[in-house]
Structure 1
Amino acid sequence: MRIALSQITTGPDPAANLTAVRELTRRAADAGAALVVFPEATMACFGTRLAPLAEPLDGPWATEVRRIAAAAGVVVVAGMFTPADGGKVTNTLLATGPGVEASYDKIHLYDAFGFTESATVAAGSDVVTIEVAGVTVGLATCYDVRFPELFRAHADAGARLSLLPASWGDGPGKRDQWELLIRARALDATLWVAAVDQADPAASGLAVEPRTPAGIGHSALIGPDGTVRERLESAPGLLIADVDVTEVDAVRAAVPVLANRRL
């Protein structure tokens, strides 16, 4: 299955961010991708007041993403914000396209490194997978990467690939942690991981609030053996890559960590 990892820097205007979604989805489709993955917070970047711009899954922003996916004939996965109780929002992944209509609400909220996502965001609770071109694909978001049980749950649900849209906070050691964690999750669950981060705003000449998780780039496709197969640097870019799902069976036969679990 050919997939596209779309590493972008989004701004505070949801309508403007749709322009990037439209253009990069078209480019991914032209390259033969069946699936194009955008980062967490594609709808609007962190550091924006989220509640006033949050929309339901049948609202205009998600509806336009559906139109874009349908016109291109590909599945699009993109981060948005939906309304939640108590004036909060939910950090949601929209997955839409031919034969696919689903959403995942981020389970593990980023209350770390001086940022408190739970102050404005309500946590999800459900493990979600989708089917793309006959392949089961798990959905996760950013801070979820620190919780290996979610990726094992994807594998238990039949996933051969996990998608990880992110807006990874910068800071000392954070790039090393990102690269270590995305490789570890592939090994934990012996599946492919497509980790798609926001591009580093500095690479686009933009300034952000220091503690805001605005992204560092370095999106990557990780094989089920934990090796980095393809990667981007810090700047915006579109990575087109092929995922051979038969590798999952070979790796699981050689290193059957899922079958050998005792807990």
Structure 2
Amino acid sequence: MAGRRARAAALVRGEAGSGLVVLPELWHVGAFAFDDFAAAAETLDGPTAAAMAAAARDAGVWLHAGSIVERDAAGTLFNTSLLYTPGGELVRTYRKIHRFGFDRGEAVLMGAGDEVVTATLADTVVGLATCYDLRFPELFRALTDSGAQTFAVPAGWPAKRRAHWRLLAQARAVENQAYVLACGTAGTNGGVAQAGHSMAVDPWGEILAEAGEDEAVVRAELDPTRVAKTREEFPALRDRVLGRP
């Protein structure tokens, strides 16, 4: 894992000048490497967190460092996302609410989060979600109600459901009139081929930039006024009936 940490940190440092950098879900161990979760678990001041804090500070970027296997004081494991300021301060954590596995894997090995988490950056409010969360629109509506204009979604999504990955990322953007930054792992982990195809989606559901199946850095320029303009010009959110706050 030390090698993975060093590589991820180097990639982050290479993005100096960017506003926000997003890494994939559980990149330090592999989202399907269930047998390795316990050994890979760390606290929020562990080596992966320290490496990501330093990388964010060196690059001077907001860093969504994907997620780690977190072990809390009681010994419970969580799939926890980490968000750092350009000064390297850990300002938000998000424990994944919807655990994947259908009574296997993550669903039984990890605890579930219970908080809707947003963070105010320089020019947008980011809502945090992780992988399987993408299938649950109520979470994204709750993030929108909490002020989110951009969703950061790290994932370890399997290749055999790549079509769902692309479809759901666009759907979450369209229905909430928000940007979606969906960062997925490439290659194979735990014997499961990964979808890749990280992408940036705009509030109309248009894909601004997209990777292929292999590891890549995807860059997109987001207009911080685009969300408000879209919601004003096509005020569908105003017409909600069910679940309106």
**TM-score, normalization by structure 2:** 0.90
* Moved >6 Å (runs of 4+): none
Identity within the alignment, %: 37
User: Offset at 1:116?
Assistant: 3.7
Matches of 1:250 and 1:57, distance apart in 2? 38
Q: Which residue of 1 aligns with 2:15?
A: 28
Q: Which residue of 2 aligns with 1:217?
A: 196
How does 1:70-219 map onto structure 2 within 5 Å? 70-78=57-65, 79-84=67-72, 88-98=76-86, 101-112=91-102, 116-171=105-160, 174-201=161-188, 208-209=190-191, 212=192, 215-219=194-198
Amino acid at match of 2:18: A
Amino acid at match of 1:94: L
**3-state secondary structure, aligned to 2:15:** helix
User: Offset at 1:257?
Assistant: 2.4
Bigger CA drift: 151-160 or 79-88?
A: 79-88
Matches of 2:203 and 2:143, distance apart in 1? 13
- Unmatched 5+ residue regions in structure 2? none
**TM-score, normalization by structure 1:** 0.84
CA contact (8 A) 1:84 1:122 kept: no
Matches of 1:130 and 1:117, distance apart in 2? 26
User: Offset at 1:20?
Assistant: 1.8
**3-state secondary structure, aligned to 2:153:** strand
- Unmatched 5+ residue regions in structure 1? 1-12, 202-206
Q: How many aligned positions are there?
A: 237
Amino acid at match of 1:239: V
User: Offset at 1:136?
Assistant: 0.8
Q: Does 1:244 align with 2:234?
A: no
Q: Which residue of 1 aligns with 2:24?
A: 39
Change in 2 beyond 3 A, CA 1:129/1:115: same
Out of 215, 227, 232, the residue aligned to residue 253 of structure 1 is: 232
CA contact (8 A) 2:12 2:55 kept: yes
User: Offset at 1:162?
Assistant: 0.4
User: Offset at 1:86?
Assistant: 7.3
RMSD of aligned C-alpha atoms? 1.9
Amino acid at match of 1:111: G
CA contact (8 A) 2:173 2:201 kept: yes
CA deviation map 1:100-138 (0-9, x unaligned): 5211100011134x8542111111010111122232111
CA deviation map 1:143-172 (0-9, x unaligned): 00001111112211211110000000232x
CA contact (8 A) 1:193 1:221 kept: yes
Out of 233, 241, 245, the residue aligned to residue 262 of structure 1 is: 241
Matches of 2:29 and 2:190, distance apart in 1? 13
**3-state secondary structure, aligned to 2:81:** strand
Change in 2 beyond 3 A, CA 1:77/1:144: same
Matches of 1:158 and 1:87, distance apart in 2? 33
Amino acid at match of 1:92: T
Q: Which residue of 1 aligns with 2:56?
A: 69
Change in 2 beyond 3 A, CA 1:243/1:54: same
Bigger CA drift: 91-100 or 156-165?
A: 91-100
CA deviation map 1:220-254 (0-9, x unaligned): 10000111111010101111211112111222123
